[in-house]
Structure 1
Amino acid sequence: MTGSFITALPSAGRLMASLRDIGYDLPGAIADIIDNAIDADAATVAVEIAADGADSWIRVSDDGVGMNRARIDEAMRYGTRADYGADSLGHFGLGLKTASLSQCRRLTVASRTAEADPPVIRRWDLDQVLSTDSWELERVRAVSAPSRLLEPLEGVGAGTVVLWEHLDRVLPRKPTEGMTARVLRTAVDDAREHLGMVFHRFLDGEAYGRRWPFGRRRLELSLNGEPVEPWDPFSRDEARTHALPPQLLEYTDAYGCAVTVPVKPYVLPGQQFFSTADAHRSAGGPKRWNRHQGFYIYRRERLIQAGGWNRLRTLDEHAKLARIAVDLPPGQEEQFGVDVAKMRVSLPVDLRAGLRAIASGAVAVAQERYRDHLDASTEVVAPRSVTSEAISLSRDWPAIMAVVDDVLEQEPGLRDRLLLRLANADADDDSLLRHGHGT
């Protein structure tokens, strides 16, 4: 005979306040709201950051499908039961609330599904929740809503507006107008760089070509009225960017299913080999050259990690030209340790050896490029295109690498030359095998 059960609801005030510290910065929080707009099939998203002293506000509006009363009530609930599709950027049912309230104390959302429908408006006010310690979601009447909330919905068929007010995590405790203007100018610059990086596949149309193969389009994203431009981490428009052969890694997930991970290594040109000085400066990225070396991990076309080696190697000035795209397979968020803020990733253990090998090959090429940059008399390897056929690394690859490590541990120079040869070899090049057999 079992015992009885009671409903143990968490303290609304304490839980809502504690979830403010889940790990967002301002650009990351704005990006999470844009994820929802993309999931709502928005073609246009406008971000406004308005400086007005203590009354400053941030607004994200879109022309997506919008929400009716039932859907907006569910969307505003913590841990929504939304059925996320294969292409959805959302995952945990927390992003709208946690991202917003990580930056502000009052979140208001207005949405409409058709031009004839009046907008439905819901609000979480942290101070109200703290005072009552209850999950009181406010239903706001349109007649009492601020004009800045409803203006983007005027004259559009459908859409959603997310408004942040009382920006206590963005502004100083007692903000003056001058101080507020300076802080928010920096916020605009940081957000512009971050959004152009995170959503570059949507902004240049690359993502839509894969998500909807029957039509190609671009996301129109603006910040304070100015278009956000995509930032390609791999400088693929540069003639001297070296695209190494794409590869496929395999691992078995927690459910015993074989999972394939596409990996595309790139080596960027040295400074003097960029087409222009501005192109080189732009390629350095928001975090600048050294911190942008490493893995670029994408989840459903959205960038969730921009550089870093995930403890497979350390940052190195001589390796800063190496950047590697890794596409996280659908449904593998748990295996990769993706957090709610979509800002941290952990590599599955079974992938680490294969990724280490790919990284070593790319870094070997990058080091050659770096030396070319230091010595202009050295001939630069001509860039070549990636073929459509990828190299597949089998599940035996970790064992193979273990043997290679043992043999070459005392000969790092020989190892680098071997990895360089592997990185530059065509998929059908068996010369290494012939040399290995003494022919």
Structure 2
Amino acid sequence: MTIETVDTPPDPERMIEGLRDTGYKFNTAIADIIDNSIAARATVVDLQILMDLRNNIRISIADNGEGMDRDGLINAMTYGSRRRSDPASLGKFGLGLKTASTAFSKRLSVISRAGASEPLLEATWDLKHVADKGWELLLNDEPDEEAIDHLNTVAPKSSGTVVLWTDVDRLIKDYVTPGGNAAQNALNRAIAGLRSHLSMVFQRFLDHLDSRARDVEIRVNGEKILPWDPFCTDVADKVGDDKVKVAIGDAKEAEFQLRAYILPRKEEFTTDAALKQSRLGNDTQGIYIYRENRLIQDATWLSMYSKEPHGSLLRVEFSFTHELDEVFDIDFKKSQISLNEDLWLHIRDRFLTAPRREANNRYRQGKRSEARKKAAGYHDSSNRNIGSKEDEIGGANVNVENPNTGMSQLTNRNGTFRIKLKVGHAQKPGELFVQPVDQLDDNALFEPTIIDGHKAVRINTSHPYYHKVYVPNLAQGVTIQGMDSLLWGLCIAELSTISDSTAQHFEEMRFEVSRILRKLVEDLPEPDLEDVAA
């Protein structure tokens, strides 16, 4: 048998163009470049993102890190460069610098010096040159002058590096009129989104009070990036804390950290600034995953749950070191992890169960409180309508013997009986037939009651049916009257047909109806209380 080896180098143009489409977004691409600066021990990273009158964009990222000599620069610009000596480095696979850069630009240059007295050298991947000449890295001992000025501003008389993107063709759409506001506005939006992203991804490095990571200053167009803490630890409640050990080899273990936080409800924030800083919302709930103190995946439930409004107060920290890279199948963009079934189930069924229940309760408590406020006045028309028909409808005769105990004498078509009823007073003028209340026994939706001598119904505003069916329709007077009339009619019918032998059955039926309705409305959307008419 003869085995022949065949050298099959990839076509340079097709290969380098194909690597542009690895799925990078602008924010994650820039973050990958900053990873390299942090890996080089930089304390300052300065970004300049500028556009000229012809809509040509130039992105320059300068740092005061260790810098590179000729061999180091060539290695850094090699696709699949040699492994770093530090396995904990944020730069991991030797691809990020190149693939992140060419995802948005056709010309990537890196200018670096290893020390204050060392020469500057520039290495460039020019996609047009590669298409014409093949895998030729361009080396230049007279680097771009603007890049040199940028480096000297950030790292005067010291080592440092500049990553330069020119011929940027994939950041914003093409605009017909060069120099127009549309292109600049689009770029400004991209820069604003980048600032927000960097404040979250590098939070631990940006926060000088956070001892888990060394201090790094990041600036974008002269503006310092401030850290954003997704867990709002100064105001949130920590409701879960767990360290999970994982086997990583023969007799070896590593661990990752889980912490769960419940943020205050919207109305509980003391200032508008604090509320805005929290970024409270449905999209920001979930697990925030950190590798070596750098956020790599945010606001995800890892397919454990869908993002429902009742979980919007819950955020979970998931932190691990490079030791678990293989266990979690880290991709080369360092943008997501994959868990095996045991770890996935541990997080979902053991760690998250209690925090999710508590977050759900707090959210619903707040929403029900808002719903009760919204309910005020919306049952007035029902009370007027029922009051106009009370004599005509008739029904059982109820004589309250003891208002404190609710013991009453009831006479209906089946005879005269003594039963216990809830007895109360109108909470506002005219509220004699339909009365919304904060809570009922066993979280029933409704119950018959006597209000100032009138047969009435009390409706539980804390019941999910009220929250999801009544509240979205509060401004629809006819709909509210219809639902109120139904519940009032059921209570009148109960009092008209009840007997000693059936009283318990009627009570059980109300509780069972309440249970069924609670289940039926589970998947209905949460009402937007701000859209409900005041």
Same fold by TM (over 0.5)? yes
User: What SS does structure 2 have at the residue aligned with 1:188?
Assistant: helix
Q: Write the letter of the residue equivalent to 1:78.
A: Y
CA distance 1:303–1:253, change in 2 (3 Å): same
Which residue is 2:117 aligned to? 116
Q: Find the aligned partners of 2:231 and 2:51 in 1 and give their Cα distance.
A: 35
Shift of the 202–360 alpha-carbon distance from structure 1 to 2, 3 Å rule, reads same
Q: Structure 2 vs 1, CA of residues 206 and 330 (structure 1 numbering), >3 Å: closer, same or farther?
A: farther
1:293 paired residue number: 285
Query: Which residue identity lines up with residue 188 of structure 2 in the other structure?
Result: R
Q: CA deviation at 1:187?
A: 1.0
Q: 2 CA distance for matches of 1:88 and 1:236?
A: 27
Which TM-score applies when normalising by structure 1?
A: 0.79
Describe how 1:29-108 pairs up with structure 2 within 5 A. Answer: 29-52=29-52, 53-108=54-109
Distance of 1:84 and 1:276 partners within structure 2: 47
The CA distance in 2 between the partners of 1:268 and 1:218, in whole Å, is: 27
In 2, Cα distance between equivalents of 1:55 and 1:316: 42
- 8 A contact 1:22–1:340 mirrored in 2: no
Aligned residue for 1:248? 243
Which residue does 1:182 correspond to in 2? 185
1:172 and 2:173 matched: yes
Establish whether residue 163 from structure 1 lines up as the match of residue 164 from structure 2: yes
Does residue 195 in structure 1 map to residue 188 in structure 2?
no
Q: Given that residues 74 and 81 in structure 1 are in contact (C-alpha distance below 8 angstroms), is that contact kept between their aligned partners in structure 2?
A: yes
Q: 1:20 to 1:148 in 2, by over 3 A?
A: same
For the residue of structure 2 that corresponds to 1:124, the secondary structure is strand
The separation in 1 between residues aligned to 2:249 and 2:321, in whole angstroms, is: 14
Match of 2:212 in 1: 210
Corresponding residue for residue 431 of structure 1: none
- Aligned 8 A contact 1:249 1:354 in 2: no
2:238 corresponds to 1:236: no
1:295 match: secondary structure: strand
Q: 1:255, CA displacement in angstroms? A: 6.7
Which residue is 1:363 aligned to? 356
Structure 1: tracts of 5 or more residues without a match: 212-216, 379-412, 414-439
Match of 2:145 in 1: 147
**CA-to-aligned-CA distance 1:337-380 (integer Å, 9 cap, x gap):** 322222232223221111103222211111122123224599xx
Give the drift of 1:250.
Answer: 3.1
**Structure 1 position 242, deviation (Å):** 0.6
Q: How much has 1:147 moved relative to structure 2?
A: 2.2
Match of 1:336 in 2: 328
TM superposition shift of 1:328: 2.4
Partner of 1:225: 222
More contact order relative to length (CA 8 Å, sep ≥ 6): 1
Measured in 1, the distance between the counterparts of 2:33 and 2:193 equals 16
Q: Which residue of 2 aligns with 1:269?
A: 264
Tell me the TM-score normalized by structure 2. Answer: 0.65
Cα gap change, 1:329/1:218 in structure 2, threshold over 3 Å: closer, same or farther?
A: closer
Aligned residue number for residue 310 of structure 2: 318
- Cα deviation per residue 1:377-428 (whole Å; 9 max; x = unaligned)? 99xxxxxxxxxxxxxxxxxxxxxxxxxxxxxxxxxx9xxxxxxxxxxxxxxx
Aligned length: 368
CA distance in 1, matches of 2:135, 2:70: 18
| Structure showing the higher strand proportion among its residues | 2
Q: Take 1:205 and 1:92, find their aligned partners in 2: how far apart are those partners?
A: 29
Q: Could you list the runs of 5+ residues in structure 2 that have no partner in the other structure?
A: 373-517, 519-534
Which residue in 2 is equivalent to 1:425?
Answer: none
State the identity %: 35
Answer with 182-191 or 242-251: which moved more.
Answer: 242-251
The CA deviation at 1:206 is 5.8
Contact 2:32–2:97 at 8 Å: present in 1 too? yes
Could you say which structure has the larger radius of gyration? 2
Q: Distance in 2 between matches of 1:48 and 1:110?
A: 15
Cα-to-partner distance string for 1:178-203 (whole Å, 9 max, x where unaligned): 23211210111010000000000100
Confirm or deny: 8 A CA contact 1:250 1:351 kept in the other structure: no
Q: CA RMSD in A?
A: 2.4
* Residue 128 of structure 1: how far off its partner (Å): 1.1
